[in-house]
Amino acid sequence: MFTANGVAMHPGNDGRFSVVRFTAPKDGNYVLDTTFTHIHSCALHSGVYIVYNNLTLWEIGLAGPGDSKSFKTTDSITVRANEPIDFIVGVGLDNSFACDMTLARVDIHLLENQIELLDQSDLYWPVLLIIAEVK
C-alpha cells in the first residue's frame, strides 16, 4: 500500500493540519515531484498543500476513495540551507477530518550543476521527515 518515499498523513479531529517538513540541508536549486492519494475506502474530501517560505506553491482538493493528484516543478526552486518546504494535509470542502487518511509520496532532488558535491549521494533525498501539527 505504501510506496517508497511515502508517508500516511491525517488531519486532527480539532482541525489541525498534518505536516511533513523537508528542511534543505544546503543551498541550491531543488525540484519536487509529489503525489497525494486518498487511502481510506470511505474518503470524501481532503485539502492538500505544498508551502515554501509561507508561499503556497500548490493547493488542491482530493475527493473520494483513491483520488490522487500530483505536483511536479517545471523549474527548480531556489532554497537556502535550513529553509523548510511543507507538505500538508487538512480537511477538505466537507470540513470533516473523518476518513481523510492520505498518502504523500515526495521526491526532492538537488540539481547537480548548482553546487560542488562531495559525492553522488548528495544529489537525492527521499523526504526528510519532521512531523508536526500546525494550528
- pLDDT category of residue 1 using cuts at 50, 70 and 90: low
* Domain presence at residue 118: yes
> pLDDT tens digits for 72-112?
998 999 999 999 999 999 988 888 888 889 999 999 999 97
Q: In whole angstroms, what is the distance from residue 97 CA to residue 2 CA?
A: 21
Which of 17, 10, 20 is CA-nearest to residue 106? 20
Q: In whole angstroms, what is the distance from residue 19 CA to residue 48 CA?
A: 10
CATH number for position 65: 2.60.120
Q: In whole angstroms, what is the distance from residue 57 CA to residue 127 CA?
A: 17
Q: In whole angstroms, what is the distance from residue 58 CA to residue 4 CA?
A: 22
The domain in which residue 27 lies consists of 6-134
* Domain presence at residue 1: no
Count of structural domains within the chain = 1
Average pLDDT over residues 24-33: 95
Neighbours of 130 (CB within 10 A): 12
